[in-house]
Structure 1
Amino acid sequence: MYNFNFEPVLAGFDKLLVGAALTIQLSVGAMLIGLIVSIFCAWGKTSGPLPLRWLVNAYIEIIRNTPFLVQIFFIFFGLPSLGLRLTPNSAALLALVVNFGAYGTEIIRAGIESIQKGQVEAGTALGLSKLQIFRYIVMKPALRTVYPSLTSQFIYLMLNTSVVSVISADDLAAAGNDLQSATFASFEVYVVITAMYLVMSVAFSTLFAAIQKVAFKYPLSR
Structure 2
Amino acid sequence: MGYRFDFGAVLDRAPELLWASFGTLGLALAGMLLALVIGILGVVARTSKSRIARTPVIVFVEVVRNTPFLVQIFFIYFALPLMGIRLNPTVTAIIALGINGGAYAIEIIRGGVESVSRGQIEAGFALGLHKADVFRLIVLKPALRAIYPSLTSQFIMLTLTTSVCTSIAAYELTSAAQRIESDTFRSFEVYFTVTAIYLVISTLMMGLFALISRHYFNYPTR
Q: TM-score range by the shorter chain?
A: over 0.9
Output aligned runs, 1:3-82, within 5 Å.
3-82=4-83
Q: CA deviation at 1:100?
A: 0.5
Note the 1:138-149 alignment, pairs <5 A.
138-149=139-150
**What whole-Å deviation, never above 9, does each CA across 1:40-83 have from its counterpart, x for those lacking one?**
21122123522111011011001000000000001111111222
Partner of 1:121: 122
1:107-152 CA-to-partner distances (Å, cap 9, x unmatched) read 1111111101101111222343433332222122111111011111
Three-state SS of the structure 1 residue aligned to 2:57 is helix
Is the 8 Å Cα contact of residues 5 and 189 (structure 2) preserved in structure 1?
A: yes
What residue number does 2:92 align with? Answer: 91
Distance 2:144 2:49 in 1: 19
Counterpart contact for 2:65–2:104, Cα < 8 Å? yes
TM-score (norm 1): 0.95
One-letter amino acid of the counterpart of residue 116, structure 1:
S
Aligned CA distance change for structure 1 residues 162 and 8 (closer, same or farther; 3 Å) = same
CA distance, structure 2, for counterparts of residue 93 and residue 173 of structure 1: 16
User: What residue is the counterpart of 2:188 in the other structure?
Assistant: 187
Secondary structure, counterpart of 2:47 in structure 1 = helix
Determine the structure 2 residue equivalent to 1:134. Answer: 135
User: How many angstroms apart in 2 are the aligned matches of 1:34 and 1:136?
Assistant: 24
C-alpha separation in 1, matches of 2:23 and 2:186: 23
1:80-112 deviations in Å (ceiling 9; x for gaps)? 122211110110000000001000110111111
Number of positions where the alignment pairs a residue of Structure 1 with one of Structure 2? 220
| Structure 2 length-normalised TM | 0.95
Give the conservation status (yes or no) of the 8 Å contact 2:72–2:96.
yes
Unaligned 5+ runs, structure 2: none
In structure 2, relative to structure 1, the CA distance for the partners of 1:94 and 1:113 (3 Å cut) is same
**Unaligned stretches of 5+ in structure 1?**
none
Distance in 1, Cα, partners of 2:85 & 2:107: 29
Q: Larger deviation: 25-34 or 199-208? A: 25-34
Identity, % of aligned positions: 50
Bigger Cα displacement from structure 2, 12-21 vs 210-219: 210-219
Q: Provide, for residues 3-25 of structure 1, a one-character-per-residue CA deviation record: whole Å limited to 9, x for no partner.
A: 00011101111111111101011
Partner of 1:165: 166
